[in-house]
Structure 1
Amino acid sequence: MKLPSKIIDCDVHHALKSHMDLVPYLKEPWKSSVEKFGIRGGGGTYSSPIGVQRKDTYAEDGRDAAAYPELLTKQLIDTYHMDYAILTGGLYSISIHPDADYAAAIAAAYNDHLIEQWLPNNPKFKGSMTVATQDPMLAAREIDRIGPHPDIVQVVLISATHIPYGNRYYHPIYEAAERHGLPIAIHPGAEGSGTSNPPTAAGYVSNYFQWHTCLSQNFMAQLVSIVLEGVFEKFPRLKFVLVEGGVAWLPHLMWRMDKNYKALRATTPWLKRMPSAYIRDHCYLTTQPIEEPDNPKHLQQIFEMMDAENILLFSSDFPHWDFDDPFMIMKGLSEEAKHKIFYENARKLYNLA
């Protein structure tokens, strides 16, 4: 089968073998705590009834491909001839734990494990460092510590929050990320858990189906906050990547913000351009999970509305149950558009060769 393009996968979930992987990177009292009780993150309210991971990503001996670099390389990078895999991990839910010091310690240990145990194993691995947002100054300090590493290409945050990301509370994180030339990725996974807000605009839902369907609400709210609070005027070199939040909602959100800006711009005097202009210049969305209507032409129309070839990044979400095969998705695009989405946009964003 013909490859759609050269490929950079922008959402690959590497994992720990167990909580004990972090113990060598922790100091007391956190070391003893993790040894005894595991990692006490903030997630877990809503769970997939079929499990998070594809069953075929486990080797015959039971090993998890997401936890072993050589297996992940074989199952994903070699199978799909990928040029790079952006490792996004899965421990960003530590940001909704009530203990800021514990969360910061776990995030730092996770970053050290990523750098020592994963990045040296394959030059195609590029890392997303995790920070805990409970204390933005500690998070900024962690970015200064880890950000200079040549294989760290972005900072990943959880999309579940109790304060929207446009709030100036987060400015130390953005200042540090901009200082090191690192994009900020926002990833879902723990909405409605820990110290975060309810998972939907209407409140708490009763099952995973509803939770998963409504994840895009959170991304819309975060993007509105980031743009209208003037983050990109304050940090003009900062980029955001909205990971695993869907894409089809973007055109109507940009239209609504632009329409309201014409009448309500006095409430955002720091903005110098239409809201949609900031999104086009500073934001990317990953393709998985792509909304696929029955009529493929409808998706192509949405892509035209949002300038998809310049704003989308391919992602597979390996090894999760809703993994997207790069051979199967977005078949109606031109070869030039495919090359940008599958490769060139990410290459430029992450400064890859």
Structure 2
Amino acid sequence: MKLKVADFHCDALSKLQANPGMDFRNDPRLDVTSERLAEGNVELQVFAIYLSAVRGRAKFEDVLGQIECFRQKVVGTGGLQWLRWKEETVEGGLTAPAFGMLSLEGVDGLEGNLFYAQLCFELGVRCLGVTWNYANWAADGVLERRNGGFTEQGRKLIEWCNGSGMLLDVSHLAPAGFWELMERSVRPFIASHSNSAAICAHPRNLSDDQIKALIARDGRIGLTFVPWFVREGGEAGREDMRRHIEHVCGLGGSGQLMFGSDFDGIEAWVGGLEHPGKYVEFADLLLKYYPEDEVRGWLYRNAWGFLREQLPSSAGMNPLLPFTES
């Protein structure tokens, strides 16, 4: 059975920007291509703006470069529909081969300037991952030993995101930052590509308390296909994903579970989940064990429903959002 899929994280943009000759439609050097999205029935793919090569010295121009890469290669020649507004989530409202949405993985490239965050919003970015693994101007990442929370400017960023409709993503955020965001954010947020630490004790995975807190706020957790986040030792197959699914569901999170593959951000893959085209076989595996309605939720409806509720509306949107620096 070919079920719809929403995938909340991939790093194809970094590869496309670094290799101008790559064709998003079918380049074999990419995990995520428009052909493979169609093969796997992926109707929503979130593309991260990830600036690994310039970590620690990222500039806003680097962010702009990947936004333009998305516009030209993914939406342009790739033919995806750019998802930006709540109104675009109405079923049957648009007929594109797939939707693409932009996220920012680590706000380093905003240079501590909230006006740059606003410009990202105006240019179509709809989700901010606060950190990558280490500290930046806004907060500490999960591998920062001091485990700090948000800076003063980072707290202003939370307020701005809550007011504008920009989604917040806690994958890579230090635990102290996670709990501070839980206190300060008036809107639910997501972990776009993280697994259960109880099943695989990697620092990038979430504790049971974090998962339960996300569930209580009706946020989302996107289980990821990074092998060393799936199984200790790093070698994993599709069946190993079921342990994480069952654990999150056992905590009450069947309605908050989704997927964030991290395709193109990894150099080793879960066996049987090497690219988006493999989602069809993965769906078939899940249907052997779980009710169809639940599987449909995990693969697509939970993610899509969250966006339908939380994306900003285009109605009455000004060319530039009201903004004041305080």
- TM-score range for the pair, normalised by the shorter chain length: 0.5 to 0.7
Q: Equivalent residue for 1:246?
A: 195
Q: Equivalent residue for 2:8?
A: 10
Q: CA offsets per residue over residues 187-245 of structure 1, 9 Å max, x none?
A: 56xxxxxxxxxxxxxxxxxxxxxxxxxxxxxx6xx2x313432x2332211513241x3
Residue in structure 1 matching 2:257, options 292, 298, 312: 312
Structure 1-normalised TM-score? Answer: 0.58
* Partner SS, residue 147 of structure 1: helix
Offset of residue 351 of structure 1:
2.7
User: Which amino acid counterpart does residue 172 of structure 1 have in structure 2?
Assistant: K
Q: CA offsets per residue over residues 294-328 of structure 1, 9 Å max, x none?
A: 89986565133222322221233334431533222
Higher relative helix content: 1
Q: State how far apart, in whole Å, the 1-side matches of 2:5 and 2:255 are.
A: 15
Matched, 1:181 2:165: yes
Q: Equivalent residue for 1:234?
A: 184
Q: Equivalent residue for 2:156?
A: 172
Given that residues 46 and 100 in structure 2 are in contact (C-alpha distance below 8 angstroms), is that contact kept between their aligned partners in structure 1? yes
Q: How does 1:1-353 map to 2 (within 5 A)?
A: 2-3=1-2, 5-15=3-13, 16-17=15-16, 19=18, 64-65=29-30, 72-74=33-35, 76-91=36-51, 94=54, 96-97=55-56, 99=57, 102-120=58-76, 121-123=79-81, 124-130=98-104, 132-133=107-108, 137-138=112-113, 140-149=114-123, 152-162=125-135, 163-164=139-140, 166-169=149-152, 170-186=154-170, 222=174, 224-229=175-180, 231-243=181-193, 245-249=194-198, 253-255=207-209, 276-277=212-213, 280-281=216-217, 283-289=219-225, 290-291=230-231, 301-319=246-264, 320=266, 321-322=268-269, 324=273, 325-326=278-279, 327-328=281-282, 330-331=286-287, 332-351=289-308
Structure 2's unaligned 5+ residue stretches are: 82-97, 142-148, 200-204, 312-326
Q: State how far apart, in whole Å, the 2-side matches of 1:125 and 1:178 are.
A: 24
**Paired residues, number:** 250
Q: State how far apart, in whole Å, the 2-side matches of 1:11 and 1:297 are.
A: 19
Give the percent of matched residue pairs that are identical in Structure 1 and Structure 2.
9
Offset of residue 347 of structure 1:
0.6
* Partner SS, residue 155 of structure 1: strand
Q: State how far apart, in whole Å, the 2-side matches of 1:119 and 1:233 are.
A: 37
Given that residues 136 and 173 in structure 1 are in contact (C-alpha distance below 8 angstroms), is that contact kept between their aligned partners in structure 2? no
Q: State how far apart, in whole Å, the 2-side matches of 1:19 and 1:174 are.
A: 31
Q: State how far apart, in whole Å, the 2-side matches of 1:333 and 1:58 are.
A: 33
Structure whose alpha-carbon radius of gyration is higher: 1
What CA RMSD, in Å, does the superposition of the two structures yield over aligned residues?
A: 3.8
Given that residues 247 and 285 in structure 1 are in contact (C-alpha distance below 8 angstroms), is that contact kept between their aligned partners in structure 2? no
Structure 2-normalised TM-score? Answer: 0.62
